[in-house]
Structure formats: structure tokens, C-alpha cells
Chains A and B, each alone.
Chain A
Amino acid sequence: MEYEPVIGLEVHSQLKTKTKIFCTCSTSFGAAPNTHTCPVCLGMPGVLPVLNKKVVDYTLRMAVATHCEINRESRFARKNYFYPDLPKGYQISQYELPIAQNGWLEIELNGRKKRIGITRIHMEEDAGKLTHDPDRPLSMVDFNRTGVPLMEIVSEPDIRSPEEAGAYLRQLRSIVRYLGISDGNMEEGSFRCDANVSIRPKGSGPFGTRTELKNLNSFKHVEKAISFEIHRQKEILEDGGQVIQETRLWDPDKNRSTSMRGKEEAHDYRYFPDPDLLPLVIDDHWIDSIKTAIPELPDKKKKRFMDEYALPSYNAELLTSSRELADYFEACVEAFPNPKQVSNWVMGSLLGLLNAQGMSIDASPISPENLSQLLKLIDQKIISGKIAKTVFEEMAHTGRPPKEIVAKKGLVQVTDESSIRSAVLTVLHRCSKEVDDYKNGKTKLFGFFVGQVMKETQGKANPKIVNKILKNLLGE
């Protein structure tokens, strides 16, 4: 029988505020253990949490960007469980009345567009960090992360393949980054994903029993773990067995998941409204002020890049994958209005350089002004494409403007026919054996001659003129 996977994702995105959600402690990463704690986040008796307004602002931005209905009144609830990373014995979250629900976002996969529903978005606090001692029977607890604001985004079970799950996650991350509300970094844990996976006979019908996958801390792991799980469930059903509802932990080293059955499965959170926090009321005025502050989002920008700059879908998608990259591209196009050429250089040489050095576009040693100046030099035939590569490397190295590099290194292209002709003659004289071979039919040697002439002129000869003169002199 052919099966169809049914997948829903729960994403936790850490919000980029300076302070925690309910107290004034810093959220900055990497401080010494328990130095960013206070009576509120440590859960001391008698303290009162007070909501950070920016957490609400940021979550509202996400709600608007993903076409959600915003609940005019929402509440915080206590989710009760005992675990040492949770000093109060409960996590403050939202349950019955989340801040937003019923939204969607659009993904594109192999040229096909699809809407993925968003069930709800809510705010909650993060838990602390546990480190387990490898030798002694004890764990160490650091509460610096306790109370760091999280936004949880729960999708509808609309996803039908590991690739769609990857596309949805990438789109979601790109939106939180565009909105400037989260770093969206999976490897560093500021963007975390759990997946609910089940399979059913292809077509429709009721959903099968689902499992929940945890510890998916990179885009690659998400897709791999879901593929593994689909395959695992298929084998069980084909052997006449039944899938058990359970939580499974992905092991990226072994490329498989293992069951977490046991104590942690006994979920009974006994949610109830947190009496310490007042109901949250959001009025039209607030929503309007959020709407006007939303920047152009990735899907709109992509469409505009395709329309305005006549770029293919692939290029437009890559160039709009981050707001900073898109801004860089547009700054270049403004100075050098040839989008195709700019796109080639940004996606090829520039991203190649940045990826190799592990740098973000913000840290690019080559400014948009300098890159467009380089493209102008090529366009005006002052330097050849080949020399441009050398100049580009020098720019990457020094950050200097290309004009300065070209002048200093004497890299201006030679277009003067008589000096090229004399270089060609020197080469032909030196390589008389190859010239004979060429004349006896080894025409492949033409490229060799071109190479020698370029070497002779330190790469400065205009290749078109070299070709023309070589053909002339070898022709007879």
C-alpha cells in the first residue's frame, strides 16, 4: 500500500529582547552560570512577574506577518510539572487563549506554491539549562536562560513531506529574521523545532497514530529525522504492527531516533490561568501600529525582484533569503543598473567568498559601492573579466576600492592591437614546435596559444583581440 505522511511542526523561536519576559534580567548568551537571575526568575516566594511589552510587540509582528487572527483578549497560564530546570514548578505559557491563531504562510517547492496553516502563536518563558556530570550522579543547573522569552508557532498538520517541512521552516526563519524579532539560529538553539509525524493510506482518511520527534537542531536533521520516522512507521504497518504514540529523540550521530517512553510521557500539566498576570488586551490602535512597522516580507520581495529586475525565481529567492542580502543587492543595482550582472557576481563570487570565510553579508569586506564600481570597470572595458577576478580577490583581502587596486597594480586592460600583436608574435616564435603541430591539424592547441599570450601580457590583453590576431596569424 502507498502511504502518505502527515506532518505538523512546533517551532520555538527565541525573541531578541534585551531582558527576560517577566523580569529585568539580561537575556545575553554566555554569561557565567546563574549571574542573570533574580528573585522573579528564580521563583522565590512572593514575587510578581511583570510582562515585557516588547515580547508582545514582537509576537504581534509575527502574527500579522503570518495572517493570524489576533485575540483581543489573551491570558497567561501555568503549565505544571516538576523538573530541575524549572525553579517555580510551573512554566508560564499561554493555553486556552493564545495571542494569535488561524494564520498561514506560503512555501514554494520545485516551483509549486502551497499554503501551510498556522494553528496558533503564543508566548512563554524558556527553562534553565541542565548539565549532567559524566562521572558523578549529579546534574548542574544554570538558570540564566530561565525566563528568556519564547514565541511558539504551531503549524496545522498540512505538511506532506520532509522537504515541505524544510521549506516551511526556512520560510518561518526568514520571516522572523526579516521582522528582526529573532536570530533564527537552529544550531545555537534560538530557533528550535519539534515534529509530529504520522502516516496514513495515500489520499485521505483519518490520521494515523503520531509520534513526536525532538532534538532536531539543524535544518538537515529535521528532514533526515522525518524521513527516518516515515520509513520506520511504514515498516511497522507493513509488518502488521501498530505505531505507538510516543516521543522520540533524534540521534544525529547514529542517524536514527530512539524512544523516550517512560516518566516524561506522563503529561498531565494541569494548566490554569496564572493569577499573577493580568489578562492581555490588544486594541485596534496597537494592531495598526504593528502593521505599519512590518517591512516588506520575503515572499513579496521575491516577487518584486522577479518583476522589477527580471530575475529567475531561484536567483530572486536566494537574494531575498535575508533582508541584508536583498539590501546589498539593491544598493549595487542602484549604482550599476544591470541586475543580471549584479546577481551573477553577488551569488557567485561574493557569496562564495562569504561562505568560505563563514561571514555574514553585514561583515562583507567588499561594500556594495565597491562591487558596483568593479562591474563598471568591466563594463567600460577598462579591465577584462579575468583581471576582475584578481581585483575582486584583492578587494576581499584589503577592502580597497577597485579603481585604486587597478591603478596601483597596473591592471588596466590592453586593447591596443599593435602591442597585443607583438606579444602574439613573441609567443608564436617561442613555441614554433606547437605552431607546426597546429598547422598539421592539432587545432586544439589554439587555447594553449591564447593562454600563453595572456601569460605574456600578465592577463591584461583583451581576450577578443588576442583571439582575432591569433586567428589571423595562424590562419594561413
Chain B
Amino acid sequence: MKISREEVIHVADLSRLDVDTKLIDKFAEQLGTILEYVDTLKSVDTKGVTPTSHAISMTNAFREDDEQQSFNRDSALANAPDKEDGNFIVPKVVG
């Protein structure tokens, strides 16, 4: 197995996903299969090849420090499930 039950629980926790404990073994197996498939790439000889971080060979795209009109606030908040006094409202995160 490429991935353990604990790793599945850890990844689910990082992703804030509530995973049914009955499904953990199944997910471990499925995720393992995906990782094994990706391993196929390792069989390619990459000696002397610089690791790629970007798919295109461009560099340096800049903008000048010029201000432009922001979104209007109603648009910014349009998709918010809950809002108040121009703020997004979320369940309390501390305390």
C-alpha cells in the first residue's frame, strides 16, 4: 500500500473534509493507485535535466504600481453566504 490510513486521515483533516471512517481503507487504496500511476514518470531518465516549475519559458511579467478602482463592495460580497456591515461573516474561529 502506497498510503496509510493515518495519511488519509491527515490529508482529509488538512482539506477540512469529513471522511466516513468506513471509507478510509477504500480511499487509501484508491489514492495509492493514483500515486503508483504517477510513479511511472519516475522511470524516465532525468539526469542533467533542471526541475521544471513552469510549463512555459517566459519570465518577468510585471505591472506598475498604479492604482485602479476596486470592485464595488456589493459585488465583492455578492456570493457571501452571510454578511454584515460590509464584512463577510464566518463561524467564530477562536475562543
Contact = CB atoms under 8 A, between A and B. Distances in A.
Given A18-B66, A34-B87, A141-B88, A278 B93 contact: no
B76 A42 contact: yes
Contacts of B43: none
Interface in A135-164: 136-143
A130 B86 CA distance: 13
For the side of the interface on B, what is the size category? Answer: 35 or more
A34 B76 contact: yes
A35 B82 CA distance: 17
B70 A26 contact: yes
B13 A266 contact: yes
B54 A275 contact: yes
Contacts, number: 131
Interface residues of A, number: 50
Contact of A19 (B67, B71, B84): B67
B73 interface: yes
Interface stretch (A46-54, A112-120, A343-351): A46-54
Interface stretch (B23-31, B33-41, B55-63): B55-63
B54 A139 contact: no
Given A25-B70, A34-B76, A279 B65 contact: no
A278 B14 contact: no
A75 interface: yes
Given A37-B70, A38-B71, A42-B76, A140 B88 contact: yes
B69 to A, nearest CB: 8
Contacts of B70: 25-26, 35-38
B53 A273 contact: yes
Of B53, B70, B77, B85, which is in contact with the most chain A CB atoms at under 10 Å from its CB?
B70
Given A38-B71, A278-B58, A281-B59, A139 B86 contact: no
Interface in A340-383: none
Contact of A32 (B13, B64, B73, B89): B73
A416 interface: no
B92 interface: yes
Contacts of B66: 18-19, 24
